[in-house]
Structure 1
């Protein structure tokens, strides 16, 4: 299995006056991997996807993009649909690397960014793998599930108050189906990062996420699309995946049981098997 290094693959690019961090590993057709949602700072793209990278990097050039305020990229205040900012950062990375059309993978926030990218820069996206995501900045309306979700409430509680080990642990354990996946070392690392670099949480608290519905625009996405969703997602319920399936004309859906909001972290083998089969088709 390929040996990967978080440190040696680390790179940065400047975009709109701030630093965007990304990793570049593997060889083959480019696959852009968008960071997931979680406590900030510390929930890096490497954390969420490191368990599938060795498999994907065998025959894909994997480019993992980190968002502002989540640790590796700069702290940044914003007042717009936040996924638009993340799309601009991704396009800056692609321009830096000289890449045109790419496959894009993203769960959680990364899925929303991938969809946004396919709508706003369709010539840059050839395939999509998404999951655990809404289509819209600000979320989509659900028929059954409450809003905000459990994870959304815990995130707001975590970010609006001083750094606290218990609050970070509650948020992380709600993100996954099996709380045993979240060990004390991970909680302590994110807690220490929050204390060491408070500017990320401070910039987030000063920012404004401008809501915008993208549901009507999803019909414009005609590239092959795979949705992989955790059955027990407590951030974006399964009905969110069914909603996407109804709006995306070229989408298929894989549901992973005993899985929450981070499928590549929680069930890496099953997730990467579905992704590799889709990319090879």
Structure 2
């Protein structure tokens, strides 16, 4: 494990997992909470969780890795990505940083990975927070098709964020558009991203899914959070999770899209903190 000398807030420490030098951020101390980001273009643990990490760090050891194929985690030529590989990568990441069991917060793609991990390795997962989570089968939305098929440009970045990520378009300023565009065209980022979810894309939703009968066996306490106006992962997915997960509560934010942790950051952070502490 080593710390990279950098002033870039997206680059933290590095540990080997599944043969990849894995970038992660950490703050605080105490019981570990692992936060897994979504699958948007140019995404990193920092981009997804920068507003949540400091709040959780007041009570927990908050850890946000860049999943395999994303962010500043090492990329290798011809790497094949699958749910099996992503689960293996997170398990070995936990081993590498010395975490036997953790709470998990999973956003979108990260929710699918969290559920897969919980059903396959229940001894490694404590409480679960799912936020706009994939991991169940649903009809491909226009928003998800656009996100996974994103071709980098300033115009496309603005259109994607204004029309699919945020309910409140006033959140989408020029600086944010520029930063997300620049993130998506860093060396190697778009190449690995575009190879992950090629069209036709309905098959990738299925590939990220865990059988419902496996999910219904979980006894973990779970908090499910969704934006009512989400155009990427439909609200019905979280309603179904709430039916399947016997020890779950569901909160739906009105006037909120796929960016719950940003659009409703204060309420989201308090709700998640209190759930993990209760």
The one of 143, 157, 173 aligned to 1:151: 143
Summarize the alignment of residues 40-55 of structure 1 with structure 2, pairs less than 5 Å apart: 41=42, 43-55=43-55
> Measured at CA, do residues 47 and 156 of structure 1 come closer, stay the same or move farther in structure 2, by a change above 3 Å?
closer
For residues 134 and 240 of structure 1, the distance between their equivalents in structure 2, rounded to whole angstroms, comes to: 7
> Measured at CA, do residues 87 and 202 of structure 1 come closer, stay the same or move farther in structure 2, by a change above 3 Å?
same
> Measured at CA, do residues 8 and 184 of structure 1 come closer, stay the same or move farther in structure 2, by a change above 3 Å?
closer
Alignment length, in residue pairs?
A: 262
For residues 52 and 8 of structure 2, the distance between their equivalents in structure 1, rounded to whole angstroms, comes to: 13
TM-score in terms of structure 1 length = 0.85
Pairwise CA RMSD: 2.2
> Measured at CA, do residues 7 and 223 of structure 1 come closer, stay the same or move farther in structure 2, by a change above 3 Å?
same
**3-state secondary structure, aligned to 1:51:** coil
Q: Please, which runs of 5 or more residues in structure 2 have no aligned partner?
A: 1-6, 198-203
Do 1:69 and 1:201's aligned partners in 2 also have CA atoms closer than 8 Å? no
Aligned to 2:157: 168
Summarize the alignment of residues 1-281 of structure 1 with structure 2, pairs less than 5 Å apart: 7=9, 10-39=12-41, 41=42, 43-76=43-76, 77-79=78-80, 82-136=82-136, 140-141=137-138, 147-158=139-150, 161=151, 163-173=152-162, 174-197=164-187, 199-207=188-196, 209=204, 211=207, 213-214=209-210, 215-281=212-278
Q: CA deviation at 1:68?
A: 2.9
Aligned to 1:144: none
Do 2:227 and 2:252's aligned partners in 1 also have CA atoms closer than 8 Å? yes
For residues 51 and 241 of structure 1, the distance between their equivalents in structure 2, rounded to whole angstroms, comes to: 23
> Measured at CA, do residues 107 and 10 of structure 1 come closer, stay the same or move farther in structure 2, by a change above 3 Å?
same
Q: CA deviation at 1:9?
A: 7.5
Q: Please, which runs of 5 or more residues in structure 1 have no aligned partner?
A: 142-146
Q: CA deviation at 1:265?
A: 1.4
> Measured at CA, do residues 56 and 213 of structure 1 come closer, stay the same or move farther in structure 2, by a change above 3 Å?
closer
Q: CA deviation at 1:112?
A: 1.1
For residues 213 and 9 of structure 2, the distance between their equivalents in structure 1, rounded to whole angstroms, comes to: 41
Q: CA deviation at 1:61?
A: 0.5
